[in-house]
Structure 1
Amino acid sequence: MAGTKKDAYGAGSLTVLEGLDAVRKRPGMYIGTTDSQGLMHCLWEIIDNAVDEALAGVCTHITVTLHRDGSIEVEDNGRGIPVDIEPKTKLTGVEVVLTKLHAGAKFGNASYNAAGGLHGVGSSVVNALSSRLDVEVDRNGQTYHMAFHQGHPGVYADPDPAHPSPDAPFRKTRKNRPTELEVIGKVGARKTGTRIRYWADPEIFNATARFDYDQLIDRVRQTSFLVPGLKITVVDEHIEETGEPSLDTMVETDVPGAKADRGEQIDDTQGAAVDAAQEALERTGAEDMQQELQAGTETALESTVAPPDDAKGGPGHRRVEEFCHTGGVVDFVDFLSHGEPLSTVWRMTGQGSYHEETQVVDEKGDLHAQDILRTCDVDIAMRWTNGYDTVIRSFVNVVATPGGGTHVDGFLQAVTRQVRKTVEENARKLKVNLKDPKMKVERDDILAGLVAVVTVRIAEPQFQGQTKDVLGTAPVKGVVSRLVDKQFAEMVSGARRGYKEQSGRVLEKIVGEMHARIQARKTKEVTRRKNALESASMPPKLSDCQPGNDDIAELFIVEGDSALGTAKAARNSAFQALLPIRGKILNVQKASLAQMLSNKECAAIIQVVGAGSGATFDIDQARYDKVIMMTDADVDGAHIRTLLLTLFYRYMRPLIEHGHVYAAVPPLHRIALTGPRKGEYIYTYSDDELAGKLEQLDRDHIGYADDIQRYKGLGEMDANQLADTTMDPRSRLLRRIRMEDAEQANDIFSLLMGDEVPPRRQFIVDNAEDFDRSKIDT
């Protein structure tokens, strides 16, 4: 129909969002949410930029000020944002950093070797989502200033310059006009730094968004642990008059408050205590701080201060908290630990390298793929306490990764491996029976009471999303694992001097956790089996295993009574149960639910598994860890397995999804060797494998009996042969049934086992030419 809106669709219907308008249109893409979480995320972006300066070794003090008007100011004494002209955009560095997405100094390796901000969107996103943002930069002996409104540069006409406001008249910078960066004062030639003050835009953040002071303090304290020697001060101007500070409050120095006006610095108003503290910091210097660290000194400063009542801004105390730790992650673990420690804080540090292909900006500003040798610095501290809770904090370049990632995976992998190895080596002393398959240390046993901080510093880490919750750089796992393998092994084994007694206590706790877990599972299993037996009697043909081995129990579904007799003699009754079935069970793909439940074989399998069926199936109630289909290695056996898989897929699907269903792989032939190797046997699983093995034996001049045994079924094996080849976990071969694509699996079962014959016939015809014997196990 002519003249409709559909016909009017053309290039004129397209909307192009330029600059930071896209951020304001879709803020959730950059800060996650527009509630309290997003509000705090904006602050983290600005603080992390200052912390990156500290990581680069050019910043020693960061101040975060919460002003009474709701604005937040972050000040650092780093190098200051560049103020010169960026050649490509013809804009000052300040305007580029605060108005251009994906712009910054962290895409290469020149200015930052390890930084928290990597995408070049942090500062510009905060600017876009602020009703006003002011930036001041100290560089070249001068103080530069620039203001923005919702991401656009311009000039505010503040009625009272001492109290800037986002509601003041604003004149936006016209296009093609020089930047509004202006010089507003002078500073010492060696003084550098950046001050960013912003007002979150109420048009962006919802009415429920609230600033969380406690969350800020936790983040600042955490950062002070991770960057030893960095002093971070938090000033809160919202505190009302409360009288004199309490006796248990440590008095410390104040920090600069709001400026008298934009053109003046207020260093003279700080007081003698501030000057003394600053001079002490300058006297100490970074070199002396490093010497203290190397000497093993660990100092910490956390304080609260009440400034004089005559401070500007009206009556009331400004809450000031200051954090500075020189012990690094060791102090952090000590802070996180609760309960009686079983060990001192164990620290593992080192460096590794890996190759990574990444896009590198060349001299012309173009991106090209290049293989780069990366360096990964690892710093880990850990200890065990007598408690049961696990506390693991992980960080990449000081950015928290609450979701973990490859660095945590490498740490846990190495710790688990070394603990298990040490327990096995000291099994007699620790009273661990290695012959008992249940006596195996699990990761949960190791994690009980563990407090650990895992940090790595790498260039251009790969995070999952802008919020950086999980580290995805794959090679980091190997670097961390190798380092922990070497250093932790010396500690937990007691080989390193001073660790023998500590490692003994740690291993005793871990083994104790293992015994407690095993005992709890036994109690649970006895109760579960009792309830199952009381609710309905088990099928009389079930040869069940002993209770208490729920975590390793195995159910063998055996084809035929003849194989059952041999299997009874071959099994380990402690954890292996047997359920025989007669021939081919019902094809549940074609049958109704009522037909399936009335079928004796299907009902017996569901009852023995003990976890229900269909929508009510609860995998946590399953009585066995493995369900193993043990059928003959022939066409009929393959058909029976397919029917069983159809039952599991339609009515007990979580068993397959979680990898609890297996197919036994019995051999087809047995070759008896002669001569010096008489009494040895070789098993093969196909005719092609048999022919190849015989050729190899002839070529190696190894004798064998001419009467090669071919098994027509499991019942033809004796108990020892069945145990060695099919049932003993130490020597058997199992195939785990996997389901990678649920939709595809559903289509395959419907095609091969459903009611419609023509599609199945056509499938066979179409794929007949591609038939490959190696793809089947008959």
Structure 2
Amino acid sequence: MPKKQPVYNNESISSLKGAERVRKRPGVIFGSDGIEGCEHAVFEILSNAIDEAREGYGDRVSVTLFKDGSIEVEDFGRGIPVDYNKKEERYNWELLFCEMYAGGKYDAAASNYEYSLGLNGLGLCATQYASRWMKADVYRDGLHYHLDFERGENIGGLQKEPTRSKRTGTVIRWLPDREVFTDIDIPVEYFKDVMKRQAVVNAGVLFQLHDQSTPGGETTEFRYENGIADYVAELAGEDALTPVISRSSEAECRDRDDRPEYKVKMGAAFCFSNKRQVLEYYHNSSWLEHGGSPERAVKTAFVSQIDAYLKNKGLYKKGESKITFADVQDCLIYVSSSFSTVTSYENQTKKAITNRGIAQVMTEFLKHTLEVYFIENPDEAQKLCSQVLVNKQSREHAEKTRLSIKKTLTSQIDIANRVAKFVDCRTKDLTRRELYIVEGDSAMGAVKTSRDSEFQAIMPIRGKILNCLKSDYSRIFKSDVITDLVKVLGCGVELDGKVKNDFAAFSMDNLRWSKVIICTDADVDGYQIRTLVLTMLYRLVPTLINEGYVYIAESPLYEIESRGKTYFAYTEPEKADILSRIGQDKYTIQRSKGLGENEAEMMWLTTMNPETRRLIKVLPEEAQRTAEVFDLLLGDNLAGRKEHIATHGYEYLDDLDVS
């Protein structure tokens, strides 16, 4: 029956409503439906508590982890207004917990939060919608308010009662829902990391983490009385090149000429060190993992001022290139914390900001800070700028060494093009290039006429290759066949460093091929050459086998012709199957010719065409077994080889190519 086609008409369009907007598409709000999204939901609730503390309402934020996987965030601020809102003609708890884009942070003029981390009015509602359950307790105006939610739905409305307690604040406890997130088991390290970072950028606020999810109930506290300055001093230790410099400023800016001005508050703490290198940016308390505007400001300001100092002091050599930020970063510990009344995040996860105005005012702030610092501290300026210049020279020396090595390796690749009778392919795309190792000149002729010269190269083996298991390295590297093949591979050899040879140390980065294909006749001589090539690869470049780059091209044993069609059988069972399918029809059958006797069309069809050929990958799990067999059949254990032939030789009588 034909497949029923789905109906697509006006009634096919629908919209998500209420909790479905988050529960069915959590990645849109939280950036992921996995553990990262679940962590971001925690940060949204934590952000609201931080906003209160930063505005001066309470000096403590507490997070508790429970055995059932639920999380509680408690602040000691003013308490969320959850009672009836005459202006909106609705209860505030409905707006805050059940409406997207609702909150007290939109009207900049009337906002209770001049610099807010939880800006978009999504966090509380979205986290509630993404929870198996949520409980909220609010203390304000001498009242205790309580709310319960289950999977986005309120249970029991708003409950309130008078309380004699003078405390104020908000307690939110919730259990992330496994139906929303694929993983809700947030590691305790995440909480420690995020709370430490918040302590860094919220000077004087105490952050407490109570871990009741494991026996012992460990409590961890974070507090930096002087914020980022204390943090940089902690990072630098006692042996930094310079003391910690901490500066702050405020400014007004705009992101575009036709946009209104907004306020920016900036703080930066830094020092120079040969031991550690740290760059961290925070905005409205959020760690900007991907930087954005503050990162651009740091790069521009530090390079500009240090470059100017080096020029003014004549520390550059004639014709020498200027420093880069990499040279500065190599000895810089820098932490900035900025706030703005208007913020443009790259997305809801708040890992980078894009404000053009912030980048501009922070650049000027940092330039001025460095200019004054250099004037007031000439000895420190000399020390740190000289270190940056040393970093530059070290980087340039490393780059010259890298280019020299690259040139050497490139010359080795060029040598491969001069290997006798090696035929390269045209493409330089390493993901497509294939090397066929074939036996003899006649086979090479057949392969050469049938290959796709765009991506298939040919390396002929002239005569019997040396048995690499029975030979020492000095003899191996006197073999032209082996050394030519190593040159063509391009990746060097894997040997003890004490073994002297003319090849570079092994590096997969220099391998010139996506596949190394051994292509020999399907007879005793062909099998022996194949085994010897595998032995060579196993001893000199075993990683190629372990990483799955080595293949065997399987050649057909028989050609069967019947009624104008040609069939190829690669095994005896395949031959029997083909004959059974031919039935009573007349046919001719013969052993497949050697590679050198094949016509180009047949060679392409059976051995070269990626769509029809048969390649056997030499699997890495076979490496140990391969080594044992190689040692037994080709090594020095003569007694073991005789015993193996006596025990198993009869199994291979049918494969002998004798008449």
The TM-score, its normalising length taken from structure 2, stands at: 0.60
User: Which residue is 2:203 aligned to?
Assistant: 228
User: Which residue is 1:147 aligned to?
Assistant: 148
Looking at structure 1, the residues matched to 152 and 342 of structure 2 have their Cα atoms a distance apart, in angstroms, of 26
User: Which residue is 2:131 aligned to?
Assistant: 130
Looking at structure 1, the residues matched to 453 and 305 of structure 2 have their Cα atoms a distance apart, in angstroms, of 50
Q: Which whole-Å deviations, capped at 9, do the CAs of 1:670-718 have from their partners, x for residues lacking one?
A: xxxxxxxxxxxxxxxxxxxxxxxxxxxxxxxxxxxxxxxxxxxxxxxxx
SS in 2 for 1:377: strand
User: Which residue is 1:329 aligned to?
Assistant: 228
Looking at structure 1, the residues matched to 332 and 132 of structure 2 have their Cα atoms a distance apart, in angstroms, of 45
Q: 1:464 aligns with which of 324, 346, 354?
A: 346
Q: 1:345 to 1:14 in 2, by over 3 A?
A: same
SS in 1 for 2:78: coil
Q: 1:501 aligns with which of 369, 379, 393?
A: 379
SS in 2 for 1:340: coil
User: Which residue is 2:84 aligned to?
Assistant: 85
The amino acid of 1:402's aligned partner reads E
Q: 1:187 to 1:502 in 2, by over 3 A?
A: farther
8 Å CA contact 2:196, 2:222 repeated in 1: yes
1:593 shift after superposition:
9.2
Does 1:386 find its partner at 2:274? Answer: yes
Q: 2:159 aligns with which of 182, 207, 210?
A: 182
Q: Which whole-Å deviations, capped at 9, do the CAs of 1:217-237 have from their partners, x for residues lacking one?
A: 111111111111111111111
Q: 1:71 to 1:515 in 2, by over 3 A?
A: same
Q: 1:92 to 1:521 in 2, by over 3 A?
A: same
Q: 1:182 to 1:4 in 2, by over 3 A?
A: same
User: Which residue is 1:436 aligned to?
Assistant: 319
8 Å CA contact 1:239, 1:318 repeated in 2: yes
User: Which residue is 1:96 aligned to?
Assistant: 95
Looking at structure 2, the residues matched to 195 and 535 of structure 1 have their Cα atoms a distance apart, in angstroms, of 67
User: Which residue is 1:524 aligned to?
Assistant: 402
Looking at structure 2, the residues matched to 515 and 13 of structure 1 have their Cα atoms a distance apart, in angstroms, of 65
Looking at structure 2, the residues matched to 64 and 331 of structure 1 have their Cα atoms a distance apart, in angstroms, of 23
Q: 1:200 to 1:504 in 2, by over 3 A?
A: same
8 Å CA contact 1:348, 1:488 repeated in 2: no
Looking at structure 2, the residues matched to 487 and 62 of structure 1 have their Cα atoms a distance apart, in angstroms, of 33
SS in 2 for 1:372: coil
Does 1:197 find its partner at 2:173? Answer: yes
Question: 1:368-387 maps to which residues of 2 (within 5 A)?
Answer: 371-387=259-275
8 Å CA contact 1:138, 1:187 repeated in 2: no
Q: 1:17 to 1:593 in 2, by over 3 A?
A: same
Q: 1:136 to 1:531 in 2, by over 3 A?
A: closer
Q: Which whole-Å deviations, capped at 9, do the CAs of 1:173-214 have from their partners, x for residues lacking one?
A: xxxxxxx1111440445x3210101011122222x4421111
Looking at structure 2, the residues matched to 383 and 461 of structure 1 have their Cα atoms a distance apart, in angstroms, of 28
The amino acid of 1:18's aligned partner reads K
The amino acid of 2:51's aligned partner reads D
Question: 1:399-414 maps to which residues of 2 (within 5 A)?
Answer: 399-414=286-301
1:31 shift after superposition:
1.2
User: Which residue is 1:39 aligned to?
Assistant: 38
The amino acid of 1:140's aligned partner reads D
Q: 1:88 to 1:10 in 2, by over 3 A?
A: farther
Looking at structure 2, the residues matched to 464 and 455 of structure 1 have their Cα atoms a distance apart, in angstroms, of 18
The amino acid of 1:336's aligned partner reads L
Looking at structure 1, the residues matched to 279 and 144 of structure 2 have their Cα atoms a distance apart, in angstroms, of 43
8 Å CA contact 2:24, 2:180 repeated in 1: no
Question: 1:741-756 maps to which residues of 2 (within 5 A)?
Answer: none
Does 1:421 find its partner at 2:308? Answer: yes
8 Å CA contact 2:19, 2:152 repeated in 1: yes
The amino acid of 1:425's aligned partner reads N
Looking at structure 2, the residues matched to 4 and 86 of structure 1 have their Cα atoms a distance apart, in angstroms, of 52
User: Which residue is 2:187 aligned to?
Assistant: 212
Q: Which whole-Å deviations, capped at 9, do the CAs of 1:129-161 have from their partners, x for residues lacking one?
A: 111101111111011111111121113xxxxxx
Q: Which whole-Å deviations, capped at 9, do the CAs of 1:312-366 have from their partners, x for residues lacking one?
A: xxxxx321112222111101212333683111111221111113579xxxxxxxx
> Could you list the runs of 5+ residues in structure 2 that have no partner in the other structure?
416-451, 455-489, 491-508, 511-659
Looking at structure 2, the residues matched to 219 and 477 of structure 1 have their Cα atoms a distance apart, in angstroms, of 25
1:530 shift after superposition:
5.0
8 Å CA contact 1:143, 1:187 repeated in 2: no
Looking at structure 2, the residues matched to 228 and 27 of structure 1 have their Cα atoms a distance apart, in angstroms, of 33
Looking at structure 1, the residues matched to 391 and 358 of structure 2 have their Cα atoms a distance apart, in angstroms, of 30
1:35 shift after superposition:
2.2
> Could you list the runs of 5+ residues in structure 1 that have no partner in the other structure?
156-179, 241-316, 359-369, 538-591, 595-611, 613-619, 622-778
Looking at structure 2, the residues matched to 211 and 425 of structure 1 have their Cα atoms a distance apart, in angstroms, of 53
1:481 shift after superposition:
0.5
Looking at structure 1, the residues matched to 101 and 125 of structure 2 have their Cα atoms a distance apart, in angstroms, of 9
User: Which residue is 2:104 aligned to?
Assistant: 105
Q: 1:27 to 1:535 in 2, by over 3 A?
A: closer
The amino acid of 2:27's aligned partner reads G
The TM-score, its normalising length taken from structure 1, stands at: 0.51
Q: 1:239 to 1:446 in 2, by over 3 A?
A: same
Looking at structure 2, the residues matched to 209 and 77 of structure 1 have their Cα atoms a distance apart, in angstroms, of 27
The amino acid of 2:127's aligned partner reads V
Looking at structure 2, the residues matched to 22 and 236 of structure 1 have their Cα atoms a distance apart, in angstroms, of 32
User: Which residue is 1:342 aligned to?
Assistant: 241
Q: 1:396 aligns with which of 254, 273, 283?
A: 283
Looking at structure 2, the residues matched to 9 and 508 of structure 1 have their Cα atoms a distance apart, in angstroms, of 70
Q: Which whole-Å deviations, capped at 9, do the CAs of 1:71-111 have from their partners, x for residues lacking one?
A: 11111111111123234653222221111001111112221
User: Which residue is 1:481 aligned to?
Assistant: 363
8 Å CA contact 2:177, 2:184 repeated in 1: no
8 Å CA contact 1:404, 1:471 repeated in 2: yes
1:506 shift after superposition:
1.0
1:41 shift after superposition:
1.3
SS in 2 for 1:50: helix
Q: 1:476 to 1:511 in 2, by over 3 A?
A: same
Does 1:118 find its partner at 2:93? Answer: no
Looking at structure 1, the residues matched to 80 and 68 of structure 2 have their Cα atoms a distance apart, in angstroms, of 26
SS in 2 for 1:325: coil
User: Which residue is 1:770 aligned to?
Assistant: none
CA-based RMSD: 3.1
Looking at structure 2, the residues matched to 185 and 412 of structure 1 have their Cα atoms a distance apart, in angstroms, of 56
1:507 shift after superposition:
1.5
8 Å CA contact 1:62, 1:76 repeated in 2: yes
Looking at structure 2, the residues matched to 532 and 200 of structure 1 have their Cα atoms a distance apart, in angstroms, of 55
Name the % identity. Answer: 24
Alignment: residue pair count: 423
8 Å CA contact 2:69, 2:185 repeated in 1: no
The amino acid of 1:132's aligned partner reads W
Q: 1:444 to 1:31 in 2, by over 3 A?
A: same
Looking at structure 1, the residues matched to 311 and 256 of structure 2 have their Cα atoms a distance apart, in angstroms, of 41
SS in 1 for 2:362: helix
Looking at structure 1, the residues matched to 87 and 11 of structure 2 have their Cα atoms a distance apart, in angstroms, of 30
